[in-house]
C-alpha cells in the first residue's frame, strides 16, 4: 500500500472509531443508561475476609454444608426447609455474610460486589442494609429475587428483570445525611429511595428466604468492597 493510502485508511478507521464512541455515548444518554463510576469521591475501607466476614447459616449444619469459598468466589446456599441461623430466632432460613467491624451511623457508605444468582432461586433476599428505626422494620434495604426479577423488597420497583445466570456488578450507596439509598447495576442507576431511619447499619449478602421461597436458594459473590465518602 502506498504511504498516502495508509494515511487515508488509518484516518477512516479513526473517524469510524470516533463516530462509534459519540454514537455509543449518545445512545447511553438517550436511554438513561449512562455508566457511572460510583466510587469517585469515596475512600475504600480495608476489609479482612476472616475477621470482617461473619457467616450466618442454619444453626444445625456445618458451615461447609451451606458455604464455600473457591477462587475468590463466595458461594452461599440454603433450603426452604432449613432451620434459622440461631436456635432462638423465628426468622426464615438464611446463609448470609454479615460485614462486621464496619457498622455505621452517619456519613455516606457504599457496598460494591459482583453477584450471581442461578436460575430457579426465588423468593429470597440476596443483599440487605441492616438497621432501621422503629419496631416495624429491621432493614433499610432489601434486594430480592422473585422468578428471575431483582426487586426492591416485594414491590413493583424492578432493578433487573433478568437477573439469572450472569455476573452483575452491584453498587449500593447509603447516604445517611440525605436519608437516601441508591442502587446501581453494572454502573447504571436503578433505584433511588428513602432510607428507613435507624442509626446502626451494616451490609449483608447471600441468601435469606422470604415469601414464596423456592426449595433451593443460592447466590455467589466476589470482589466485595466497602467505601466511605471522603
Ligand atoms: C485478618 O484477621 C485475622 C483474624 O482476626 C488475622 O489473623 C489476620 O492477621 C488479619 N489479616 C490482616 C491482613 O490484617
Ligand atoms: C453492629 O451492629 C449489630 C446490629 O445492630 C450489633 O449486633 C453489633 O453489636 C454491632 N457491632 C459493633 C461493633 O458495634
Ligand atoms: C413464579 O412463576 C411461577 C410460574 O410461572 C408462578 O407459579 C409463581 O406464582 C411465580 N411466583 C412469584 C413469586 O411471582
Ligand atoms: C406467592 O405468589 C403468589 C402468585 O404469584 C401470590 O398470589 C401470593 O400472594 C404469594 N404469596 C405471598 C406470601 O406473597
- Confidence category of residue 10, pLDDT binned at 50, 70, 90: confident
In this structure, the residue with its CA closest to atom 13 of ligand 4 is 211
224: DSSP letter: E
Cell of 4: 498516502
In this structure, the residue with its CA closest to atom 4 of ligand 4 is 212
User: 121 exposed, middle or buried (CB, 10 Å; 0-12, 13-18, 19+)?
Assistant: buried
155 Cβ closer than 6 Å to some ligand 4 atom = no
User: 186 exposed, middle or buried (CB, 10 Å; 0-12, 13-18, 19+)?
Assistant: middle
200 Cβ closer than 6 Å to some ligand 2 atom = yes
Lining residues, ligand 1, CB within 6 Å? 48, 50-51
**Which range is most confident: 31-35, 109-113, 134-138?**
109-113
Q: Ligand 2 pocket check: which of 132, 202, 203, 226 to mutate, most ligand atoms within 8 Å of Cβ? A: 202
In angstroms, the Cα distances linking 81 to 56, 94, 178 are: 16, 11, 40
Bridge partners of residue 146, in order along the sequence: 149
* Alpha carbons 205 and 54: distance in angstroms, whole number: 11
- Confidence category of residue 35, pLDDT binned at 50, 70, 90: confident
Residue 27 confidence (pLDDT): 52
Residue 25 confidence (pLDDT): 53
The model carries a pTM of: 0.85
Segment 13-38 shows an average pLDDT of: 64
Looking at the CA of 48, which ligand is closest? 1
Query: 197 with 133: CB under 8 angstroms?
Result: yes
- Confidence category of residue 28, pLDDT binned at 50, 70, 90: low
Least confident range from 67-71, 98-102, 132-136, 190-194: namely 132-136
Residue 142 confidence (pLDDT): 98
The per-residue pLDDT for range 171-227, each reduced to its tens digit, is 999 999 999 999 999 999 999 999 999 989 999 999 999 999 999 999 999 999 999
Amino acid at each position: 500500500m502506498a504511504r498516502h493510502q495508509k494515511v487515508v485508511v488509518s484516518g477512516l478507521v479513526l473517524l469510524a472509531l470516533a463516530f462509534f464512541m459519540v454514537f455509543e455515548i449518545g445512545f447511553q444518554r438517550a436511554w438513561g443508561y449512562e455508566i457511572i463510576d460510583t466510587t469517585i469521591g469515596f475512600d475504600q475501607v480495608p476489609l479482612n475476609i476472616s475477621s470482617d466476614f461473619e457467616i450466618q447459616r442454619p444453626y444445625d449444619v456445618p458451615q461447609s454444608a451451606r458455604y464455600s469459598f473457591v477462587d475468590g468466589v463466595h458461594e452461599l446456599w440454603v433450603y426452604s426447609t432449613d432451620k434459622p441461623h440461631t436456635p432462638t430466632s423465628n426468622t426464615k432460613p438464611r446463609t448470609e455474610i454479615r460485614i462486621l467491624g464496619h457498622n455505621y451511623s452517619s456519613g455516606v457508605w457504599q457496598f460494591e460486589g459482583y453477584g450471581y444468582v442461578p436460575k430457579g432461586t426465588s423468593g429470597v433476599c440476596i443483599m440487605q442494609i441492616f438497621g432501621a428505626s422503629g419496631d416495624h422494620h429491621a432493614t433499610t434495604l432489601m434486594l430480592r429475587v422473585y422468578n428471575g426479577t431483582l426487586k426492591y423488597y416485594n414491590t413493583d420497583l424492578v432493578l433487573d428483570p433478568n437477573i439469572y445466570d450472569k455476573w452483575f456488578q452491584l453498587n449500593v450507596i447509603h447516604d445517611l445525611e440525605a436519608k437516601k439509598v441508591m442502587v446501581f447495576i453494572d454502573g447504571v442507576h436503578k433505584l433511588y429511595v428513602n432510607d428507613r431511619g435507624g442509626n446502626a447499619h451494616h451490609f449483608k449478602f447471600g441468601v435469606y428466604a422470604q415469601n414464596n421461597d423456592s426449595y433451593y436458594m443460592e447466590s455467589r459473590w466476589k470482589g466485595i468492597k466497602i467505601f466511605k465518602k471522603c
